Amino acid sequence: MSVVRFHPRDCPWREAEAAWQLRGMATDPRVRGLGAGRALGAEGLTRVIAVGGDLVWCDARAAAVGFYERIGFSTVTETYDLPPAGSHRGTLIELPIR
């Protein structure tokens, strides 16, 4: 099973009319590296665009920052601690207005 959640929430780092937060992204360890994360992310972004969202942001675990960059997010902060999960960086993607 692989999961991700999107919900409306203001972005801490960028002004937007309709920002959404991406949380809880995880793919089954047995299929990592095979495109499931990209597919989940793309489907979620498509749905956020469809309901008028103009930005998605994420507290990206340091080890996963490269993944978010590969699927189109920009890294916009230095590293910060989010206990108990550890080091994160802020990432976001601005979306086309539908």
Ligand X SMILES: CC(C)(COP(=O)(O)OP(=O)(O)OC[C@H]1O[C@@H](n2cnc3c(N)ncnc32)[C@H](O)[C@@H]1OP(=O)(O)O)[C@@H](O)C(=O)NCCC(=O)NCCS
| Distance between CA atoms of residues 73 and 82, nearest Å | 20
**Amino acid identity, residue 2?**
S
- Which range, of 5-13, 34-42, 45-53, 72-80, touches ligand X by CB under 6 A? 34-42
Q: Give burial (CB, 10 Å; 0-12/13-18/19+) of 5.
A: exposed
Q: How far is the CB of 30 from ligand X (least distance, A)?
A: 10
Instruction: Considering only CA atoms, give the Rg of the chain.
Output: 13
In the bound state with ligand X, the residue whose beta carbon lies nearer, of 16 and 36, is 36
What x-and-dash track marks residues 40-59 binding ligand X by CB under 6 A? Answer: --------------------
Q: How far is the CB of 97 from ligand X (least distance, A)?
A: 26
Q: Number of residues interacting with ligand X: please give it, by CB under 6 A.
A: 17
